[in-house]
Amino acid sequence: MSRVLVTGGASGLGAALVARFVADGHQVLSTDLAAESPAADGAQYRQLNVRDASDWEAAVAWCEENWGGLDILVNNAGIATGGRIDVESLDEWDRVVDINLMGVVRGCRAFTPLFKRQRSGHIVNTASAAGLVHPPMMSSYNTVKAGVVALSETLSHELHPYGVTVSVVCPSFFRTNLGDSIRGDDTEMGATARRLIEKSPRTADDIAAGVVAGIKKKQFLIIPDRPALLAWRTKRFARPLYDRQMRKIAARARERAETQVPSTGER
């Protein structure tokens, strides 16, 4: 039985992971922004804002006081964003960097001293297929998720001498409430992202099953669905085809942009 902490555990993939860990018999602490939130039966809940270093310190203290340590840290909290480089605001860039990238950094920094003392632990960072392949009109999201992949690979080597395992999770679109977090000036891109999320045939439970299977195998790169795996393999082994696909997407976006009224950020 492992001791598991999941950020962003109140909904979406986080909630699905919490439920699956509980079903597998683990001790689970679900964390999220709200002061109180229903957790899966058998899980505990604690408020944790991934942007607040003091919340992370308190989470480490809680794990030490109540469990005597931690086995698996799942840095899952995040938001959706995106937009054309000349439309998405710098404020939105700051927001997504602080949550999706620095939130993961804060979690890794907070728990690494504990894992080093234990000479054990498993860090699981949720990135995205966007961390491996980089479609146009998603520069901020692609950038932070690629950063999570790079951070995870770095730590997988850095922490190996201490017996600490690191995994990074890279799913494609799946049905969740992530679209509710989309803000920003590029409303056209936001609407497209919401459609892709809502129309996906995959659920958070589907993705969680693949993630937990990868964690059990201690895989570094966990790609839990076929579309994400296919996109990654196309980029690696058929780069000209991948480039043509990305540029077709960009060309279609240009056509739409030139036939519509400019978004707010283009004033």
pLDDT tens digits for 186-227? Answer: 666 655 655 555 565 688 999 999 999 999 999 999 999 999
Percentage of the chain exceeding pLDDT 90? 76
Residue type, 36: E
Q: Mark whether 141 is an active-site residue.
A: yes
- Quickly state the pLDDT bin for 39 (edges 50, 70, 90): confident
CA gap 130, 3 in Å, rounded: 29
Q: Which amino acid makes up residue 77?
A: A
Treating both helix axes as pointing N-terminal to C-terminal, what angle do 139-158 and 102-118 enclose, rounded to 10 degrees?
10
pLDDT in tens, 46-81: 999 999 999 999 999 999 999 999 999 999 999 988
The pLDDT assigned to 253 comes to 82
Q: Which amino acid is at 171?
A: P
The answer to whether the pTM exceeds 0.75 is: yes
- Per annotation, catalytic residue among 45, 141, 162, 242: 141
- Tens of pLDDT, residue by residue over 159-193, are 999 999 999 999 987 745 654 555 555 666 655 65
Q: How many CA atoms lie within 13 A of 250 on its CB side?
A: 14
Report the alpha-carbon distance of residue 224 to residue 45 in Å, rounded.
26
Who's near 162: CB < 8 A, 6+ residues apart? 115, 116, 119
Contacts of 128 (CB under 8 A, 6+ apart): 141, 145, 170, 171, 172
Residue appearing with tokens 């609407």 = 191
Average pLDDT estimate for 138-152: 96
In sequence order, the β-bridge partners of residue 138 are 83
Taken in order 62, 66, 70, 71, the sign of the CA dihedral is: negative
